[in-house]
Amino acid sequence: MITYAPELPDLDLTAELPSREGDRIIQFREALREAMEEEMRRDKRIFLMGEEVAQYNGAYKISQGMLEEFGEKRIIDSPISENGFAGLGIAAAMAGLRPIIEFMSWSFSLVAADQILNNAPKMLYMSGGQWGCPIVFRGNDGAGGQLGSTHSWCVEGLYANVPGMKMAIPSNPYDAKGLLKTAIRDEDPVFFLESERMLGDKAHVPAEEYYIPFGKAHKMREGDACTVISFGRPVHFCMDAAERLAGEGIECDVLDMRTIRPLDIDSVIESVQRTGRLVVVDQSWPFASVASEVMAQICERAFDYLDYQPVRVNTEDVPTPYAKNLEAAYLPNADKIVAAVKQTM
């Protein structure tokens, strides 16, 4: 029986440093490490497996020092075979362990798609509830900075289509730790999507233990002109855009969704009922994206409250460019979000 730690009130993630007394300011990668360490000390069934997680301390130094504490039976270097170690993790979860499987990039998870999409999410259903698959798949998602088309996948639009799993996409160190602890304790498969470009970001993280429940959005900024929602790294672009718009007298509601499986659509509806306008920012391609799903649900459930059609800001509908300037133009940014909000006005 798993006992959850207390849920702390949300920090004001928009406040200037320093914030709450007693909080530490740590990096995104350190927050991830703390979440795994705390849960591994609590439950000996948990282990971490992936490429370079042990001897090399992690490709991005997320698992630094964990081999020394937990040993080679719980911090396990794998071959370069995502299909192999993802499948091993699924079997271990079905047998009673609680694996954390690290993909160096979610782009590489595509070679394990049969394991992680066709097996893990369906085990509980196909076994008639006899056994599930409590496993966490985590790693870097999206364009990491001039990595080219095949190494810059944003998989949320593709993978979120599959029922039976959950998906968390944190935008800051506080959420990264709280959501990952929740993911590790969850009885369902959880896809945990991080961003290489945020691993060095610093923010306040409480010293006391806490977790963040899935399916609960965080309001980053309050306004009545337009609802702007996003998740992961683009949340920062939304906040930049909202600050610029406020200088012109346009105050936006900004929601960080935190998880998209489950999706807190009720919070979006509540906001749209006040603002009458919606802009969805999503770093996936536009066709069949998370933004598409949010817009569809809003049109189905809150159409009468809209004063203008919902607008989405996605990456451009092309393979990810390698050139730095083209990659920047391809991704969502504050300029595009400002333009989208003004379009709804």
Percent of the chain with pLDDT over 90: 89
- pLDDT on residue 144: 81
pLDDT band with cut points at 50, 70 and 90 for residue 22: low
For residues 184 and 264, state if they share a domain. no
- pLDDT on residue 147: 86
**Mean per-residue pLDDT over the chain, rounded:** 94
For residues 309 and 186, state if they share a domain. no
For residues 256 and 194, state if they share a domain. no
CATH number at residue 52: 3.40.50.970
**Vertex 43, ends 85 and 47: CA angle to 5°?**
15
Look up tokens 């006040």; give the residue: 274
Residue 14 belongs to some domain of the structure:
no
Residue 18 belongs to some domain of the structure:
no
pLDDT band with cut points at 50, 70 and 90 for residue 316: very high
Residue 212 belongs to some domain of the structure:
no
pLDDT band with cut points at 50, 70 and 90 for residue 339: very high
Residue 7 belongs to some domain of the structure:
no
Q: Phi and psi at residue 85, in whole multiples of 5°? A: -80, -25
Query: What number is the average pLDDT over the span 144-149?
Result: 85
Look up tokens 């004063």; give the residue: 307
The catalytic position among 37, 52, 151, 316 is 151
Q: Which of 184, 205, 226 is the last residue of a domain?
A: 205
- Rounded CA-CA distance 330/73 in Å is 42
For residues 152 and 251, state if they share a domain. no
| Domain count for the chain | 2
> Who wins on pLDDT, 177 or 148?
177
* Secondary structure class of 315 (helix, strand, coil): coil
Residue 298 belongs to some domain of the structure:
yes
- pLDDT on residue 161: 95
Give all strands (DSSP E) within the chain, no chain letters: 24-27, 46-50, 75-77, 98-103, 136-140, 166-168, 190-194, 202-205, 218-221, 226-230, 252-256, 259-261, 278-281, 311-313
Contact 255, 227 (CB under 8 A): yes
- Rounded CA-CA distance 37/168 in Å is 19
Query: What number is the average pLDDT over the span 277-294?
Result: 96
Residue 17 belongs to some domain of the structure:
no
pLDDT at 39 exceeding the cut of 90? yes
Domain of 194, in residue numbers: 24-205
pLDDT band with cut points at 50, 70 and 90 for residue 19: low
- Rounded CA-CA distance 148/174 in Å is 30
Q: Which of 151, 173, 205 is the last residue of a domain?
A: 205
For residues 149 and 180, state if they share a domain. yes
pLDDT at 1 exceeding the cut of 60? no
For residues 101 and 174, state if they share a domain. yes
- pLDDT on residue 21: 62
Q: Which of 205, 239, 259 is the last residue of a domain?
A: 205
For residues 200 and 226, state if they share a domain. no
CATH number at residue 292: 3.40.50.920
Look up tokens 């980053």; give the residue: 220
Question: What are the residues whose beta carbons fall under 8 Å from the beta carbon of 138, sequence distance 6 or more?
Answer: 32, 100, 101, 102, 103, 180, 183, 191, 192, 193, 194
Q: Phi and psi at residue 112, in whole multiples of 5°? A: -110, 20
- pLDDT on residue 106: 95
- pLDDT on residue 6: 79
For residues 222 and 201, state if they share a domain. no
- Rounded CA-CA distance 271/257 in Å is 13
For residues 47 and 144, state if they share a domain. yes
- What are 138's strand-pairing partners? 102, 192
Query: What number is the average pLDDT over the span 111-117?
Result: 96
For residues 76 and 28, state if they share a domain. yes
DSSP conformation letters of 229-281: EE-STHHHHHHHHHHHHHTTT--EEEEE--EEETB-HHHHHHHHHHHS-EEEE
Residue 3 belongs to some domain of the structure:
no
The catalytic position among 34, 82, 156, 194 is 82
Q: What is the CA radius of gyration of the chain?
A: 20
> Who wins on pLDDT, 148 or 303?
303
Residue 124 belongs to some domain of the structure:
yes
Asked which of 7-11, 260-264, 328-332 is least confident by mean pLDDT, the reply is 7-11
For residues 242 and 336, state if they share a domain. yes
For residues 270 and 171, state if they share a domain. no
Q: Phi and psi at residue 156, in whole multiples of 5°? A: -60, -40
Q: Cβ of 239: how many Cβ atoms within 10 Å?
A: 22
Alpha-helical runs (H) found in 13-148: 28-42, 66-70, 82-94, 113-118, 123-126
82 included as an active-site residue: yes
